[in-house]
Structure 1
């Protein structure tokens, strides 16, 4: 569900008039190989698990069968939206980032009602801007191996990975029902 989640954000940005592409910004800057000089490059820079939303149930009932099921994994994705422009200069790069921020200010929740093309396995995506201080920004760009370009980071939640195994659950052998009264 990671790629479909990021790709729908790219698609929605493009539909909103903000040219965007997926790519590893570190590699793109190192190779000077971005596809278009007017695009926002969307890079996945972190994946975190949201353990608070974890469902402890490890079985699911399907008719008369019980299947084993590991708890779903709820993910936060941190995406970096970077403006890499060869033409138009720094001012145009700032305008591109402003367009991306404006788009996500208008539409920060993506669900099946407002985004019909959203993958069926994704219930909804919620974006929130991540504010990085100067030290964090320096560390990020040092890790990416490039010099700073106008960029903004967003945390995307709730990407959920969930699957049911083909292994049957245990047979119920007895039911113990006891009521304790004082």
Structure 2
């Protein structure tokens, strides 16, 4: 599910950049950042730099009736993915890298949500603000020097195995108050 979502995002961004810059090849790749600026190969790297579980919606165990039994599944996880769009161009082409970064920002501003064709699922995407200290920490963690980039969050990816984790027998309930002879308060029965 995460792979299909990122692949769809990469394909849509490649389409946008091909039209914007009249490119003949794709420059956006789903790949980690492993290249220093002097050896960069003029590409945009899209990579996951973090995942966080969204708990605002609560956690629900799903139950389904199956004859006289109830089937329980593990709760769905809603996950936000932090995605780094890094423009990796040779140092002498810094101006071009900034132009591509500007186009990526325009793409994100125009496409605040996108659809994954295989599933039809729609996901929201938004930029994430980082302090200078957080940026330095992120790029230090990646082990490379800073490159023109933007961090974005894809909201509410659903992780669900659908695996049954519990089977329990159904108990038919009876309303004993109305069958015990008294209708309760306000009853007109003797």
Same fold (TM over 0.5): yes
3-state DSSP class of the match of 2:168? coil
Deviation at 1:46, TM superposition (A): 0.2
Quote the offset at 1:64 in angstroms. 7.4
Correspondence for 1:40: 44
Q: How many residues align?
A: 171
Task: Give the Cα separation in 2 of the matches to 1:181 and 1:69.
Answer: 41
RMSD over aligned CA atoms reads 2.7
Is 2:13–2:104's contact at 8 Å kept on the other side of the alignment?
A: yes
Matched, 1:22 2:30: yes
Which structure 2 residue ranges, 5 or more long, are not aligned?
19-26, 178-183
Write out per-residue CA displacement over residues 19-42 of structure 1, whole angstroms, 9 at most, x where no aligned residue: 3101111x3449x5x6xx332100
TM-score (norm 2): 0.78
Task: Please say if residues 124 and 158 of structure 1, whose CA atoms lie closer than 8 Å, have aligned partners that are also in contact.
Answer: no
**1:79-158 map, 5 Å:** 79-86=83-90, 89-111=93-115, 117=117, 119-120=118-119, 123-158=121-156
Indicate which of 157, 161, 164 corresponds to 1:163.
161
CA shift in 2, pair 1:141/1:168, >3 Å: closer
